[in-house]
Amino acid sequence: MSAATPSATQSTPAPSPPNASQEEKPALSTSEQAILEYLRARGHHDAEKAFLQEVTEGRSPDDKSKLEEIGKDEFLRSLAVYAGKASRPGENLLKDSGTVLQELQSMGNPSAIQNLISSIGAVGAEEDREEGFRELEAWVDGSLDMYRPEFRPILFPIFCHFYLDLIQKGFKEAALRFYSTFSESLSTSHSATLHHLSTLLLPAHVQNDDLAQRFMNEKYIIKMSRSGLSLLVGWLTEAFGGEAMGAGNGFSGEQGKRGRVAVMAVVNNHLSFQMTSTNPTTVSPSAWEESTGLLSSLIPQGTGAVSKLTNAQAFNQDRVLREQAVLDREPLQYDMQIARAVPPGLVAPAESELLPHPPAFKTIDIEREVSAVRDARKRIRLDPSALNNIDPNSPQATLQRARALPSICAYTLHDVTEGSPCMTFSQDTSLMAAGFAESYIRLWSLKGEKLKGFRSDFNASSVKDVATLQKIREKKGTTTRKLIGHSGPVYSVAFDPISGSAAPPKYLLSSSADATVRLWSMDTLTNIVAYRGHENPVWDVKWSPMGIYFATGSRDRTARLWSTDRTSCLRIYAGHLSDVDCVQFHPNSLYLATGSSDWTARLWDVQRGNCVRVFIGHQAPISCLAMSPDGRYMATAGEDLAINLWDLGSGKRVKKMMGHNSSIYSLSFSAESSLLVSGGADWTVRCWDVKGAGGLKAKSENGSSSEVGNRPGRGEGSQETIDLLSTFPTKRTPITNVQFTPRNLCLAGGVYLSPEQR
């Protein structure tokens, strides 16, 4: 089906552009002449000059006399890329091969181009790809059960490359037909990516899309056993083995051979196989899919490697030098060191590795530590292991469930038409704050006390002591107050942890779509600082465990470290390939965890700004994460309905917990780090055993589902793992926040979703 254009001796010389001299007539091939004729006829003079300059300058003197012969596929591809609409530069005028021919025929071209048009027939490259992918899918489905899970991941990258290649060459109809035929079998694990690819319909879309360029320029990593790889190579080269029942003997016919060549080209040029010595039967079926992807750009580059994010590194290094100079010049105002026993296996951080201390200890610091001891004495100890090996229907199960499961207090917001993206509770359980899409924040007093701010008509010079300060407070107050200051939806709120459970918080942080973070005083109930530096909406904000410092995550793909006494950021953590959706400090304040829409989580050195861990395993954006109080584990969850538990020391995944039917919005560990609570869009709060073994539950004999009511989520019913201890359903309230108090009371909150809103 491949035919070359007419030779140079049979074609007439191309006319020179208007600004070229008669002595300098470049020798052009027939396809180049056709492109110039088309651009000149349509009035695209700038594109004509750029194309002519590229052709003439990129050709050596010896090659200028030699004319290039290209196939019709390349000819159509060249025309489709260069022909853009004048009114919409990003959209191609020639969307497919049929439009190319129609446009050329309507131009009144010279006879040489008319002969070229008549020689172009139907293009069959798209049929080769369809046949090749159909045979590959049949071979994968027909392979042995032990090999099928590790063969399935190769279908997705080959599908993506075939689709993008068809779009880039202008075969829009063939690409849409290919997508509709084969995408359904891949939608279970890659629905978000497939939807994104379906929006790319023109060559210009592929050229300007970040994800498409990553597929074109990066190797797609696939893990496979040695025996599995040898079977794949044998099928590609010899076309035998592993066919589905009744499929025949592999590829047959000329079209089948071309399809095999197309598959082999993608495997050779765009896939990278990492062989493992693990027995395929010992690996979980989902683990093969989760360990594949465009992973090369997700891994931090080694020392001395060239990085595109040099600005963030230079910024962090400059900050480190400045802060070190301040520490050397101004010694700390206290040198009291509290001797603490270091647990075996852990290394105590040096003083230089810690963030700078506050200026001095205050009374609230002592009160916080005393309150922490009091909370530890009165804490309800949760022991999920008490439910092990106990029949759920036995009389003892009720008593053991009280020991293993927490008490949950849920707060529901009603009549919120525009939605409330975020909610949080203070550690002393006296205040609740929620951010709204209408750009404001609302506070509630959970103890029924009236919230009173300061009057606006007082003179600051008249304030001399605490007594006079109290006199200028408002005489009347209410149990709820509205804080107005943002100019976009509020996505995250956080109370400061300085007072702990000893006293109400003094400050509140909020982040918004207006790309700012604001600090609010709980004494005056007003905004006192606006922090600017992010270039896009700020999705999340979190305090460090000791206050003073806080971190933010934004759509600009960076996380940043801030201090309340400075309006500019202290560190920039750059490395994610998409939005940083959530952030969380490690309990020792030395590390910062971030979750991103690039499906990965990262652990950063707070002081140096370096990435020390990359956690790969999710199949969708990560929406929330939590750190265990003992500092050993991190839990991440997102839109793939799975909760992954990670060991921070080794960077490996401990287990995967499943049970939610829709996106997961919030996670929280109990004080002993033995229980994990999650809340999500399926209107439930779920409790998980952190220390217990994982694995899928055995299906019940009657096949009935344990879900109560008509829960939102995927139609095929979510799988559950055995570490799911209990599910607490709400009526119609997606849970946006779950949070443990220091005494192991679980607080949950969300916005009631009326049936009319569904």
Q: What is the DSSP letter of 59?
A: S
Residue 699 lies in a domain: no
Read off the CATH number of the domain in which 254 is found: 1.25.40.500
pLDDT at position 704, please?
43
Task: Take residue 485 and report the two structure tokens written for it.
Answer: 């200051």
Range 204-238 burial, b when 16+ CB lie within 10 A, else e: bbbeebebbeebbebebbbbbbeebbebbeebbee
pLDDT, averaged in runs of 10, over the chain (758 residues): 40 44 55 75 73 67 51 56 50 51 52 48 60 86 83 88 87 87 83 85 86 85 83 73 46 63 83 77 69 66 44 73 64 46 71 67 80 89 77 71 86 87 92 93 91 76 75 82 92 92 92 94 90 92 92 93 91 90 94 92 91 89 93 92 92 91 94 93 93 75 46 58 90 93 93 78
The verdict on 535 and 641 lying in the same domain is yes
Task: Determine the 3-state secondary structure of 322 from DSSP.
Answer: helix
Rounded to two decimals, what is the model's pTM?
A: 0.68
How many structural domains is the chain composed of?
3
Q: Which of 269, 290, 311 is the last residue of a domain?
A: 290
Read off the CATH number of the domain in which 430 is found: 2.130.10.10
Q: Which of 119, 154, 178 is the last residue of a domain?
A: 119
* DSSP string across 131-162: HHHHHHHHHHHTS-TTTHHHHGGGHHHHHHHH
Phi/psi at 426 (nearest 5 deg)? -75, 155
Residue 85 lies in a domain: yes
The verdict on 111 and 133 lying in the same domain is no
The verdict on 231 and 268 lying in the same domain is yes
- Whole-angstrom distance, CA of residue 753 vs CA of residue 750: 9
Element (H, E) at 480: strand 480-484
The verdict on 41 and 152 lying in the same domain is no
pLDDT digits (tens, 9 = 90+) for 51-81: 777 777 655 555 444 445 555 555 555 555 4
Task: Take residue 110 and report the two structure tokens written for it.
Answer: 């010279």
The verdict on 206 and 92 lying in the same domain is no
pLDDT digits (tens, 9 = 90+) for 419-472: 888 999 999 999 999 999 999 999 999 988 888 887 777 777 777 777 777 777
Residue 246 sits in which domain range?
125-290
Count CA atoms within 13 Å of residue 303 on its CB side. Answer: 1
Q: Which of 290, 309, 341 is the last residue of a domain?
A: 290
Residue 47 lies in a domain: yes
Residue 314 lies in a domain: no
Element (H, E) at 404: helix 395-404
The verdict on 687 and 540 lying in the same domain is yes
- Burial of residue 271, with CB atoms counted within 10 A of its CB: 0-12 exposed, 13-18 middle, 19 or more buried: middle
Residue 39 lies in a domain: yes
